[in-house]
Amino acid sequence: MFYRLKQFYWGVICSFKSIDYEFLKMYLNEEELNLFSKLKTNEMHHCIRVAKSALKFAEDIECNDMSKNYFIKACLLHDIGKIGINISTVDKSLLVIVDKISRGKIKKYNNIKKIDVYYNHPKIGYNILKPYGYSDEFLYLILNHHNHDIKDNKNLNILIRCDSIN
Ligand SMILES: [Fe+2]
Ligand SMILES: [Fe+2]
């Protein structure tokens, strides 16, 4: 609940804060920056916060399949499935509440674009990034970043953790 309130606060405040492009440029190439800048301002801030939190877990990042920088890139792009849709901070809070009350039953109203993106943006993001030739492990992180049942992927667990506190 505390994090939800914090998320709401950030959502409102962040519309006025400038984007940390210096940080972005360390991890994203021009094409990725282009894609990233299609996100709503507060989504961009969220993704940057997630990536910066993930850096604090740097020692735990499994580097066998992917380098640290590549993992941070995945953290920055994890919500890329939200591009082109405007889910406001108020919409998001409402969706979280209705989701809790209905125990996820609103999922089936996926003909409503905002509901569809809210639930399916990991899959949408996966489909957006797939043609660019990222590794399977990278795409796996994007696709599963809301799947809290997967416990055996260290990098995914870091991403999920950092996502939920930011
Ligand atoms: Fe997400
Ligand atoms: Fe996220």
Q: Ligand 2 centroid to 9 CA: how many Å?
A: 16
Expressed in angstroms and rounded, the spacing between residue 160 Cα and the centre of ligand 2 is 8
pTM of this structure: 0.83
Q: What's the CA gap between 107 and 95, in Å, rounded?
A: 10
From 83, 61, 84, 86, select the one nearest 74 (Cα to Cα).
61
- Residue spans of the domains in the chain: they are 2-164
Residue 166 Cα to ligand 2 midpoint, Å, equals: 8
How close is the Cα of 100 to the center of ligand 2, in Å? Answer: 18
3-state class (DSSP) for residue 117: helix
pLDDT in tens, 58-74: 777 766 657 889 999 99
Give me ligand 1 centre to Cα 88, in Å.
14
DSSP state of 139: H
DSSP string, 51-93: HHHHHHTGGGS-TTTS-HHHHHHHHHHTTGGGTT----HHHHH
Q: May I ask the CATH class of domain 2-164? A: mainly alpha
d(CA 49, CA 128): 22
pLDDT, one tens digit per residue, over 8-37 is 777 766 667 789 999 999 999 999 999 999
